[in-house]
Chain A
C-alpha cells in the first residue's frame, strides 16, 4: 500500500518534470547568433523594401504612361485644330466664310 503511494507520487512528479523540461532548456532566442553585417542590414531593411516599392510603383503607373496625355478640364489646349468632315482646304474656305451666312440653329453648352 505504501509502496504504491510512493510510486504514484514519483510518477506524478516525474510527469511534471518531463513535461516541463523544454521550458527549463535554453530558449532559442537567448543564444546570440552571428550578427548581421551593416551591409546586409541595409540590403534587407532598406534596399529590398525600396526595390519592392519601386516595382509596385512602376507597374501602377505603367498604364497611364502608355496612354496619351489625357484631356483634363481646365488645362490649356495647345494642340493643332482637328477638323473631321471639314473642307479639303480649310484655310481658303475659312477666309471667305462669314458668320451667320449658313447657320440656322443649334445649341451651345459649357462644362
Chain B
C-alpha cells in the first residue's frame, strides 16, 4: 500500500459515501462497492480483480473503481448484477460521475453515480412464483 499523504476525505465525506453505498445496496438488493485509489496496470484488469475479490457477493456486486490520479473510472458488474444493470446504464452513470470529477467534486460524483446506478437497477423483484 502506498504511504498516505493526509486523508483525502473528511469523516463526513467517508460517511456520505458509505451511506450512499449501503442505501444503493439495500434499495436494489445488489452489492455496491466503491474503490478510490491508484490503479496497478490496466484499469479494467485491476477493477475485475477487485470485483473478484468481493468473493461470494461478486455475482450480484457492482464495483466502481475511481482512480483520481489517472483520471479513470471503471464500473464492473457481475453475473447477476449485469442483468439488472445494462452497460448503457453504467456508461450513463460513468458519464455523470466524470463530469463531477472533472469539476473537482469526487464525493458528489461518487454519490450521484451510486444513485444513478441504483435507480437504473431498480428494486429487487420478489422471488418469482412458478
Chain A residues with a Cβ under 8 A of chain B: 68-74, 76-87, 90, 93-94, 96-111
Contact = CB atoms under 8 A, between A and B. Distances in A.
A110 to B, nearest CB: 5
Interface residues of B, number: 71
A39 B97 CA distance: 59
Contact of A106 (B45, B47, B79): B47
Return the 8 tightest CB-CB contacts between A and B, nearest first. Answer: A81-B37, A77-B69, A107-B90, A85-B33, A97-B52, A105-B82, A111-B98, A93-B53
A85 B61 CA distance: 10
Given A80-B4, A102-B48, A109-B97, A72 B72 contact: no
Contacts of A96: 53
Given A93-B53, A94-B50, A111-B101, A106 B77 contact: yes
B6 A69 contact: yes
Given A79-B6, A82-B9, A85-B32, A108 B74 contact: yes
11 contacts: A68-B6, A79-B4, A81-B38, A85-B22, A85-B33, A97-B49, A100-B48, A103-B52, A106-B77, A109-B94, A110-B73
A81 B81 CA distance: 24
A99 B44 CA distance: 8
A90 B55 CA distance: 11
B27 to A, nearest CB: 14
A73 B71 contact: yes
B119 interface: no
Contacts of A70: 104
Given A103-B48, A107-B90, A83 B1 contact: no
A106 B120 CA distance: 13
Contact of B90 (A69, A94, A100, A106): A106
Contacts of A86: 33, 35, 50, 53-54
